C-alpha cells in the first residue's frame, strides 16, 4: 500500500510510490538540446521570454507566451515541449501530453521530449507508454542520468523493484545527485531487502533537503520495517505536517506505528482519518480494530474486523481473510487481536 508515486525531480505527485506515490521542482527543457527545425533567431524574443517565465515558475504566463510564439512558429518542437512542461507543472497533464505528441511527430529524435513525456505518461497512469518513452530516451542518449531516473520511477510503479534499483544506480553513476534520487533509491532498496544500503541513501536525501517529503516518507517506512516505530512516527509527523490533505497513507502507517507501541488513542485518531478517506481499503479497518480494542471498544473492533474480512473476501485475498478470522477468535477468547 503506497501513496501515489510523485516526482521530486519534475512533478511530485507524486503521491509514492510509496504508492506511490508526491514539493515540485519544475521541468526544465534545455534549449541547447533543441532539435533541428526549431525556429532560428527568435527575432521577437518570444521564446526566450517564455523560457524566463517558466524558470520563474510563472507557468500560466509561460503557456500564454508560448502559445503566442507558436502562432508564428507552429513547428518549433522546442517551444511545444516547453509549453508542455509549463502545462504539466501547472497540473494540466493532458494538455502537456498533446504538446509532447505534436513535438515528437515533428522531431522524432528529440531526446528530451521522450524524457518529459515519459514523466507525464506516468502521472497519467500510462506505465506502458511511459516505459516505451523512457526506453527511447535511453536509446537516444545512454548518458542521460535523468532518463534512467525516470525509467526507475516507471519500474517502481510497475512493482519491478529490482529493475528500478538498476536504473536508479545507473542514474547516480551518471551524476544524478538530488534529494529525490537518493530517497527513491532508499525506498526501493527497502523493498528488495537491501536495508544496509537504504539507510545511508535516506540520510543523504534528507541531508540535501531536510524537508524532502519523498525522503521523509522513505526514511519513515524504513524505520517502521525495522520496528523503530518512534523514529518512523517522527518522520511521518513532518511528512504529514507539510501537506495533511495529501497524506492518506501516512496516516495509516503512523496509526500502525502508534498501535505497535500501544498508544492506541493516537492510533485510533489516525486510522479514523485513513478509513474516512480510503473506505474501500480493508487494511485500514483491520488496523483500526487493533486501536479500538486497545482503547476498550471491543464491539467497535469486531465491527471493523467484519468489514475488513468482507473486503478481503471480495478481492479474493483469502490469506488476509484468515488472519482477520484469527483476530476475531482472539477477541472472543478475551485476548488482544494481533494483525
pLDDT mean by block of 10 residues, the chain; 339 residues? 39 32 41 51 74 96 96 95 98 98 98 98 97 98 98 98 98 98 98 97 98 98 98 98 97 98 98 98 98 97 98 96 97 93
Domain assignment present for residue 329? The answer is yes
- Identify the pLDDT of residue 10: 39
Domain boundary among 199, 224, 244: 244
Query: Same domain for 240 and 251?
Result: no
Domain assignment present for residue 36? The answer is yes
- Identify the pLDDT of residue 132: 98
Query: Same domain for 149 and 100?
Result: yes
Query: Same domain for 186 and 295?
Result: no
Query: What is the gyration radius of the CA atoms in the chain, in angstroms?
Result: 23
Domain boundary among 244, 266, 295: 244
Query: Same domain for 256 and 315?
Result: yes
Q: Which of 174, 214, 226, 170 is nearest to 22 (CA)?
A: 214
Domain assignment present for residue 271? The answer is yes
Query: Same domain for 203 and 86?
Result: yes
Query: Same domain for 142 and 121?
Result: yes
User: Which SS3 state, helix, strand or coil, does residue 266 take?
Assistant: helix
Query: Same domain for 212 and 257?
Result: no
- Identify the pLDDT of residue 27: 56
Query: Same domain for 220 and 336?
Result: no
Domain assignment present for residue 165? The answer is yes
CATH value at residue 194: 1.25.40.10
Distance CA 232, CA 315 (A): 30
Query: Same domain for 251 and 193?
Result: no
- Sequence length of the chain is 339
Domain boundary among 244, 270, 285: 244
Domain assignment present for residue 219? The answer is yes
Structural domains counted in the chain = 2
Domain assignment present for residue 11? The answer is no
Q: What's the number of CA atoms in the CB half-sphere (13 Å) around residue 103?
A: 30
Question: In terms of residue numbers, what domain contains 277?
Answer: 247-339
* Cα–chain center distance at 225: 19
- Identify the pLDDT of residue 257: 98
Domain assignment present for residue 121? The answer is yes
Q: What's the number of CA atoms in the CB half-sphere (13 Å) around residue 110?
A: 31
Amino acid at each position: 500500500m503506497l501513496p501515489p508515486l510523485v516526482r521530486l525531480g519534475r512533478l511530485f505527485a507524486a503521491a509514492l510510490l510509496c504508492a506511490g506515490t508526491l514539493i515540485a521542482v519544475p521541468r526544465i527543457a534545455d534549449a541547447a538540446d533543441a532539435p533541428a527545425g526549431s525556429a532560428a533567431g527568435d527575432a521577437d524574443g518570444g521564446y526566450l521570454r517564455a523560457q524566463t517565465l517558466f524558470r520563474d515558475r510563472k507557468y500560466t504566463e509561460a503557456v500564454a507566451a508560448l502559445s503566442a510564439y507558436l502562432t508564428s512558429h507552429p513547428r518549433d518542437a522546442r517551444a511545444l515541449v516547453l509549453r508542455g512542461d509549463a502545462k504539466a507543472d501547472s497540473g494540466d497533464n493532458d494538455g502537456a501530453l498533446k504538446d509532447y505528441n505534436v513535438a515528437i511527430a515533428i522531431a522524432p529524435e528529440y531526446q528530451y521530449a521522450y524524457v518529459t513525456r515519459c514523466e507525464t505518461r506516468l502521472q497519467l497512469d500510462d506505465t506502458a507508454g511511459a516505459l516505451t518513452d523512457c526506453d527511447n530516451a535511453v536509446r537516444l542518449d545512454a548518458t542521460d542520468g535523468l532518463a534512467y531516473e525516470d525509467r526507475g520511477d516507471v519500474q517502481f510503479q510497475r512493482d519491478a523493484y529490482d529493475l528500478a534499483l538498476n536504473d536508479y544506480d545507473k542514474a547516480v553513476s551518471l551524476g544524478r545527485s538530488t534529494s529525490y534520487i537518493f530517497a527513491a533509491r532508499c525506498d526501493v532498496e527497502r523493498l528488495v531487502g537491501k536495508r544496509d544500503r537504504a539507510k545511508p541513501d535516506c540520510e543523504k536525501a534528507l541531508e540535501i533537503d531536510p524537508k524532502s517529503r519523498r525522503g521523509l516518507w522513505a526514511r519513515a517506512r524504513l524505520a517502521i520495517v525495522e520496528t523503530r516505530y518512534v523514529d518512523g512516527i517522527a518522520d511521518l509527523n513532518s511528512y504529514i505536517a507539510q501537506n495533511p490533505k495529501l497524506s492518506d497513507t501516512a496516516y495509516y502507517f503512523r496509526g500502525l506505528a502508534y498501535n505497535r507501541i500501544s498508544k492506541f488513542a493516537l492510533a485510533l485518531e489516525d486510522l479514523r482519518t485513513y478509513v474516512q478517506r480510503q473506505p474501500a481499503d480493508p487494511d485500514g479497518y483491520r488496523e483500526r480494530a487493533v486501536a479500538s480494542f486497545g482503547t476498550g471498544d471491543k464491539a467497535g473492533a469486531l465491527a471493523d474486523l467484519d468489514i475488513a474480512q468482507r473486503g478481503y473476501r471480495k478481492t479474493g485475498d483469502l490469506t488476509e481473510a484468515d488472519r482477520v478470522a484469527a483476530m476475531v477468535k482472539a477477541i472472543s477468547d478475551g485476548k488482544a487481536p494481533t494483525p
